[in-house]
Structure 1
Amino acid sequence: MRKTRHLLFKLLMVFLVIATGYLVYLDARITTTFTDKMWELPAKVFARPLELYSGAELSPDDLAYELEVLGYRKVSHTRNPGQVARNRGRFEIYTRGFDFPGEREPARRVIVELGATRVQSVSESGSGVDLMRLDPAQIGGIYPSHGEDRMLVRLEDVPDTLWQALMAVEDQRFYQHWGFSITGIARAAYSNLVSGRVVAGGSTITQQLVKNYYLTPERTIVRKLNEVLMAVLLELHYDKDQILESYLNEVYLGQEGPRAIHGFALAARHYFDTPLDQLGLHQQALLVGMIKGPSLYNPQRNPQRAIERRNVVLNLMVEQEVISQEHAMVAGAMPLGLNTAPKIRDTFPAYLDLVRRQLRQDYREEDLTSEGLGILTAFDPLLQHQLERSTSAVMNQLDKGGELESASIVTRFDSGEVAALVGGRKVSYAGFNRALDARRPAGSLLKPAVYLAALEQPERYSLASVIADTELSISQPSGEPWQPRNFDRVAHGEVLLFKALSKSYNLATARLGMDLGIDAVVDMLRRLGIEHYIPEVPALTLGAGEYSPFDMATMYQTIASGGYRTPLKTIRTVLDARGEIDTRYELTYDREVSLQAVYLLQYALIDVMRNGTGRGAYRSVPDTLTLAGKTGTTNNGRDSWFAGFSGDLLTVSWVGRDDNGGTGLTGSSGALKVWSHFMGAASKRSLAYNMPEGLAVQTIDTSNGYLTGKGCPNAQSMPFMEGSQPRRNTNCSPKKSGIRDWFQSLFGH
């Protein structure tokens, strides 16, 4: 008997040691992670803010769309932030304000008057406003693997009626118990016994918080015991208000695609597009009621069930003397008042994909998903909207069967900032991002690199140099000769260099490339921004290799910027959780190519649009808009490309098939249509051709490349590097003519 008691004593001591050790483990788990979990926030990605000032290029419909994207509510007269009243071109906007880096844009009521295409005036209380910025739209977030999203709120900023309603429904003795409720557990145990399975938990708010933070959702005795122990430990270390605040920020209240809605503050925005402190009683009661079953009582899917649940909560609030019967009756008669603004968050997957890739160059994944960073980007909702419309409209015309795909990327001409991006024909589909990852031969889109390499050698080449567009055959290591052909299967004989590019002659380009040397072409592509593998083969001169639309946008951005290599970027600034600047992404650029040579190339690319393979763009673009660009078509019409720029935007578009099959399209009949449909609606500024020092204009006979007089046959003005102009002359004297070529019109002389 004594041995038995001794054994039991030892077993008891072992149990106590193990239990104590386990409690120490649970305690350490809570104390080391609770504060971090309270403040664990995903990064939020914002669009550029819309700037409003007198003279800004903006139509009334564009401003209305921007405000719709931002979730501003249409009213007859504004009384609260986030409201707008419109009367044709007159907008009364009560802005929300925003904390920009180093500057607070206050919430204020402004009057914006617009004409057909421009802002006429911005005023506040009768006084003019020089410049103001609307709050930027949140276009997405970078969430942890479990997809949780939340907005943090302090307890003092939560309406009293909301947290009191929470007590009435979820935990009436919250401020009295020690983390668990014996009566609640007993009631749940009885329900489970009667039903023969686990149907109720009897959890307090503290227990629910512990379960959300630390435990799995499984319903077992062991998990329940852990929940109770950890709830007690949590209450020993943190006061009730801290626990309640954490619960208000953590509770799960629904799902939007892969994004989980956590916390009352985010739910208020999601369901009602209203700040938490501005919610009405009927809205507060609905959110509290949804805790029981966010899917079951989702007001967007089950409005009647949601109303019934809301009214149950209102009755409990009356019973607990949180509100009066009269207030409950008024709230119970209210409609749901749900947010009807378009859901734009996370609906631009291709652009957000690029943002994530660029962020990961400087930030760890755990920082992006938990540090509450604010990512201010160059994303332009108006340009994105137009790019999506153009993509859908043109692709539906080209291919009603849905077999063709498309991708486009839009950058700001002056900064290299990516303003809009479409990764596929299904513009909101978060699948394969063709703008970044579809790597295809570029066809004639690569030809400008060949011509630019030539124009950097003014002692050998100029725009008026005569090159041969004749058949050629080049031996290859495989033993099979490379024998390119022109698209029209015709050899055009001797042609001027600029015309060979404008008309996209393959034979002339291949001969020029071989004369320069493939290594010179590769070197130029490197300087223009192509960083990955480039095949050093003769076919490179006609676009061999694998390139994405992003690669081509990088290359053409260097050409558009006068030979300065400007890395394409999406991010302007990263803010920490306090709104302070964490990283600022400055504009960077390096001179890579001769400025004079680039301007000669730009001349040829403008001629592509006026007289060459890109002239069809002017069916959609105003003739007054000066553009530069290049078509691209690959073998058997597998890929249709177009890249080009105006004075404000650069766009690259691609059309093709995922299986790399033939499309039956050329660059002109496919991608150019997407490009021109977009640029015709979005671009506001002509390309300004301001010749740098070292260039001089001469008049050339385009039939032979000789100097000639203005008004003479085949006369065309073009620039030359000093000393590179032709030596021969037609001896035709200048003649008066009412006809001016496009280059003369560009300068107005």
Structure 2
Amino acid sequence: MTAPSPKRRQPRRRRRGLGLWAFFFSSILLLALIGALGLGLYGVQLDKVVREKFEGQRWALPARVFARPLELYVGRPITQDALIGELERLKYRRNAGLERAGRFHVEGDRVLIRTRPFRFWDGAEPEQRVEVRIADGLVTDIRSGANGRDLALVRLDPALIASIYPTHNEDRVLLQRKQLPPLLIKTLLAVEDRSFYKHQGIDPRGIIRAAYENLMAGRTVQGASTLTQQLVKNFYLTQEQTLERKAKEAYMAVLLDQRYSKDEILTTYANEVYLGQDGSRAIHGFGLASRFYFDRDIDELTVPQIALLVGILKGPGEYNPRRNPEQATARRNLVIDVMAFHQIITADQAEAAKSSPLGIKDGGAKPSGVYPAFVQLVRRQLQRDYREADLRSEGLRIFTTLDPLIQSQTEAAIGERMPKLDKQRGYSLGTLETAAVVTSVAQGEVLAIVGGRDTEYAGFNRALDAVRSIGSSIKPVIYLTALAQPERFSLVSPIADKPISLRAGGELWTPKNYDHRVHGTVPLYKALAKSYNLATVNLGLQVGVGEVAKMLRKLGAVRPVSEVPAMLLGSASLPPIELAQVYQTIAAGGFRAPLRAIREVLDASGQPLNRYPLAVEPVVSSDAAYLTQWAMRQVVEQGTATWLKQRLPDGMTVAGKTGTTNDMRDSWFAGFSADRVLVVWVGRDDNKPMGLSGSSGALRVWGDIMAEIGSEPLSDAFPDTIEIASACGSSDIPFSRGHTGGSAACGGGGGGRSRSAPAASDNDEPKLAQGEPANQPDPTPPRRERQERPQNSPFMSDFYGN
């Protein structure tokens, strides 16, 4: 009998269902673990990004360019008004209590100053209280305000005159946490992130609140980004509006908050936040924005100014106070209401703040500074004197030779004189242009540059780039070339002022004197003082045109000149800066020091950059240089620049030379005192004749400037290598010892009318013709027909040319 077969168990459907759910949940858990692992790994990567930038170099800082510091010492020539003007240019504020650095107070002949600390290239200058007494234009006493002890020297912090920016054109004035005003911090947090010190980088309550408000309004009316999120967006991410970027922003904000303190995050935000645009330059951070909008440091801002800066954060374009003052005012007043609501300020303060003007200052924190012509020279000399690799370093500190006091005095003198010259010639205002260069004699430092009548224009710089014929300004070079040969020439050597004609290639060159006269045989110094063209040409041909060109290069001219006879009367073309170099070498006794606008460059760590050596070298004998200086003094005493004797202060002895080019297209005066070299050019940009000679145009500007900048007169003492002898009725003619320059010429013979052709040369003032009195108003020169430029002329090339 067979056993019954066992019954098959029916599968339990319920258990199978549970297995599917277990599989589903285990899969979800596995995916969650994988996601968490991936998110964690992604967080590690993001954390690395956060740390690398936050702990490394956060910003590409621009190079800061500083003027020379004002140094005060007993005996320093300066008036009280000039000192106050310098302090105001440095943004020092009047404050009787001197409560903080950058304040000053005036009591009678005393100026009380609380200086700012500053680190120079040669060490740090501490903050201190000083008392400066000034009498009769001199510093008579300097004492410490703390203990009353005498101080030998006080050096004020230099003015920041410009910034040279990195390639991306961002700029900042970096602030530390302690430099952020409490009022600014409270206002910022009240408006942008009231829970900043409580949340962990993101604010969930704020997110929910903003979502509700936006849902009720049907549009975005409120944001939920914390300051930390805003910093992440600006510092690490782009501005694109996507969920991916938002999620990344939140994640990085949490990581940032975990890694760094609230104060570190807040300080970085204050330095990073975008607050406007200045052309191609982005304005980042409250420090720069304070200067850009109000021309003030951040710690000097008022309630309405702080409210405006915080208000601009919402939309720097929409609330730009310069373009949209009404919208900016409304936004500022809303911030002021928030300040009052949170009791940051009182109701009375709020009402006063809302009724105040915006107070925007034009020109604050300019990218090229207030001295664009000088900054252009700085840029060029950086390339000349420093390695390109070093200049790519960020955060350089460039200390320059600019003297803001002399610069402002030069600009003021030009601003006053040039309209008078326009009016004198019957031109519309602004027709005539000008350029000026001021240097120091001893160091060859460029103290001031004016590149045109609009001194704030950062475009064409006539002082550096206007290459114009220099006219009679070349004559001292010719006479120096002769005096460098004492065996042949002395100051009283006879020079023939007689007609001369030269022919080459079928063309005839016949120069003449301005007064259409010849003066016979004259002493060498008189030929220069009176700017006799015929005597100069005859002398130049004796020493050789090539030798004169060589001397011009020795003195510092770098542009090539055509070695043709017309060069002897000014066909050579140079910009004012090169002519200043030439006269600098003469004024320095024959020692050439390449003109420099930079004293020192420090890298971001305060270490000086290596620079190419700029050696001072003797290029001509000191005796010849001194004798040329003496002859140039006679230009002022008895020659074409006698007007200066009535313009300059008594006892101010100077030397110089006028220059006028063909058809009066260019007017020059170049000269020097014991410590200053000054070159001035006046002309038209279209190179048309203007009717002003060297003495009726540039000389007037030169005299105004020199009278203002305060210079030391040339000394009457003679060097040991010079002896004094009697000649030509004078007992004080200097000679080189052992000179054998021949007999003296002591008179001007002739005097008859020259029959030579019309002049193609520099012709200075008709009032200074033989026998005419000096110090008379400049008459209008006789009108002459314009001569066409001869083609391929060995004489006229680069002279008639425009």
Normalised to the residue count of structure 2, the TM-score between the two structures is 0.78
Identical counterparts, % of pairs: 48
Judge conservation of contact 2:63–2:163 (CA < 8 Å) in 1. Answer: yes
Pick the aligned partner of 1:436 from 455, 458, 464: 464
Residues 1:445 and 2:473 aligned together: yes
The correspondence of residues 482-497 of structure 1 with structure 2, limited to 5 A, is 482-497=509-524
Residues 1:426 and 2:454 aligned together: yes
Residues 1:680 and 2:703 aligned together: no
Q: Distance in 2 between matches of 1:397 and 1:81?
A: 43
Pick the aligned partner of 1:67 from 87, 91, 114: 87
Q: Distance in 2 between matches of 1:36 and 1:258?
A: 26
Question: Deviation string for 1:332-380 (max 9, x for gaps)?
Answer: 6455795879958511110111112112335578976872222222211
Pick the aligned partner of 1:352 from 375, 378, 388: 375
Pick the aligned partner of 1:593 from 616, 620, 624: 620
Pick the aligned partner of 1:244 from 247, 266, 270: 266
User: What is the count of residue pairs matched by the alignment?
Assistant: 704
Residues 1:724 and 2:724 aligned together: no
* Alpha-carbon offset, residue 250 of structure 1: 1.4
The correspondence of residues 23-62 of structure 1 with structure 2, limited to 5 A, is 38-62=58-82
Pick the aligned partner of 1:405 from 404, 422, 433: 433
Amino acid at match of 2:657: K
Question: Deviation string for 1:303-351 (max 9, x for gaps)?
Answer: 78666544544554576xxx64665654664557958799585111101
Amino acid at match of 1:289: G
Residues 1:135 and 2:137 aligned together: no
* Alpha-carbon offset, residue 687 of structure 1: 1.0
Q: Distance in 1 between matches of 2:599 and 2:613?
A: 7
What does residue 262 of structure 1 align with? 284
What does residue 607 of structure 1 align with? 634
Q: Report the CA distance shift for 1:640/1:187 in structure 2 as closer, same or farther (over 3 A).
A: farther
Q: Distance in 2 between matches of 1:582 and 1:158?
A: 32
What does residue 12 of structure 1 align with? none
Question: Deviation string for 1:142-184 (max 9, x for gaps)?
Answer: 1235543212122354345533433332234546667666776
Q: Distance in 2 between matches of 1:195 and 1:629?
A: 79
Q: Distance in 1 between matches of 2:489 and 2:290?
A: 66
The correspondence of residues 190-269 of structure 1 with structure 2, limited to 5 A, is 202-213=224-235, 241-254=263-276, 260-269=282-291
Q: Distance in 1 between matches of 2:583 and 2:496?
A: 26
Judge conservation of contact 2:492–2:744 (CA < 8 Å) in 1. Answer: no
What does residue 782 of structure 2 align with? none
What does residue 111 of structure 2 align with? 91
Q: Distance in 2 between matches of 1:74 and 1:106?
A: 20
* Alpha-carbon offset, residue 521 of structure 1: 1.4
* Alpha-carbon offset, residue 210 of structure 1: 4.2
What does residue 291 of structure 1 align with? 313
Q: Distance in 2 between matches of 1:109 and 1:336?
A: 34
What does residue 667 of structure 1 align with? 694
Pick the aligned partner of 2:416 from 372, 381, 393: 393
What does residue 699 of structure 1 align with? 726
Judge conservation of contact 1:37–1:213 (CA < 8 Å) in 2. Answer: no
Amino acid at match of 2:98: T
Question: Deviation string for 1:578-618 (max 9, x for gaps)?
Answer: 44444589874111111111111111111111111121222
Q: Report the CA distance shift for 1:529/1:235 in structure 2 as closer, same or farther (over 3 A).
A: same
The root-mean-square deviation of aligned C-alpha atoms, in Å, is 4.0
Judge conservation of contact 1:71–1:341 (CA < 8 Å) in 2. Answer: no
Question: Deviation string for 1:232-269 (max 9, x for gaps)?
Answer: 77668766554432221111234567654321233345
SS of alignment partner, residue 128 of structure 1:
coil
* Alpha-carbon offset, residue 730 of structure 1: 11
Amino acid at match of 1:380: D
Judge conservation of contact 1:595–1:692 (CA < 8 Å) in 2. Answer: no
Q: Distance in 1 between matches of 2:46 and 2:390?
A: 26
What does residue 402 of structure 2 align with? 379
Amino acid at match of 1:598: A
Residues 1:530 and 2:557 aligned together: yes
Q: Report the CA distance shift for 1:195/1:552 in structure 2 as closer, same or farther (over 3 A).
A: farther
Normalised to the residue count of structure 1, the TM-score between the two structures is 0.83
Residues 1:155 and 2:177 aligned together: yes
* Alpha-carbon offset, residue 672 of structure 1: 0.8
Judge conservation of contact 1:554–1:568 (CA < 8 Å) in 2. Answer: yes
What does residue 568 of structure 2 align with? 541
Structure 2: give runs of 5+ residues left out of the alignment.
1-34, 747-802
Q: Report the CA distance shift for 1:324/1:177 in structure 2 as closer, same or farther (over 3 A).
A: closer
What does residue 5 of structure 1 align with? none
What does residue 740 of structure 1 align with? none
Q: Distance in 2 between matches of 1:278 and 1:632?
A: 50
Structure 1: give runs of 5+ residues left out of the alignment.
1-14, 702-713, 732-749
* Alpha-carbon offset, residue 726 of structure 1: 6.2
SS of alignment partner, residue 672 of structure 1:
helix
Question: Deviation string for 1:464-498 (max 9, x for gaps)?
Answer: 1112222223344x542333333333333322211
Judge conservation of contact 1:53–1:131 (CA < 8 Å) in 2. Answer: yes
* Alpha-carbon offset, residue 520 of structure 1: 1.2
Judge conservation of contact 2:292–2:364 (CA < 8 Å) in 1. Answer: no
Judge conservation of contact 2:472–2:659 (CA < 8 Å) in 1. Answer: yes
* Alpha-carbon offset, residue 648 of structure 1: 1.8
Amino acid at match of 1:597: A
The correspondence of residues 364-375 of structure 1 with structure 2, limited to 5 A, is 371-375=394-398
Question: Deviation string for 1:59-90 (max 9, x for gaps)?
Answer: 12111211111112223443222222224533
Q: Distance in 2 between matches of 1:367 and 1:389?
A: 37
Judge conservation of contact 2:187–2:344 (CA < 8 Å) in 1. Answer: no
Pick the aligned partner of 2:664 from 613, 623, 637: 637
Question: Deviation string for 1:633-662 (max 9, x for gaps)?
Answer: 111111111100011211000011111111
Judge conservation of contact 2:62–2:165 (CA < 8 Å) in 1. Answer: yes
Residues 1:106 and 2:133 aligned together: no
Q: Distance in 2 between matches of 1:53 and 1:561?
A: 25
* Alpha-carbon offset, residue 426 of structure 1: 0.9
Q: Distance in 2 between matches of 1:84 and 1:379?
A: 23
Q: Report the CA distance shift for 1:229/1:664 in structure 2 as closer, same or farther (over 3 A).
A: farther
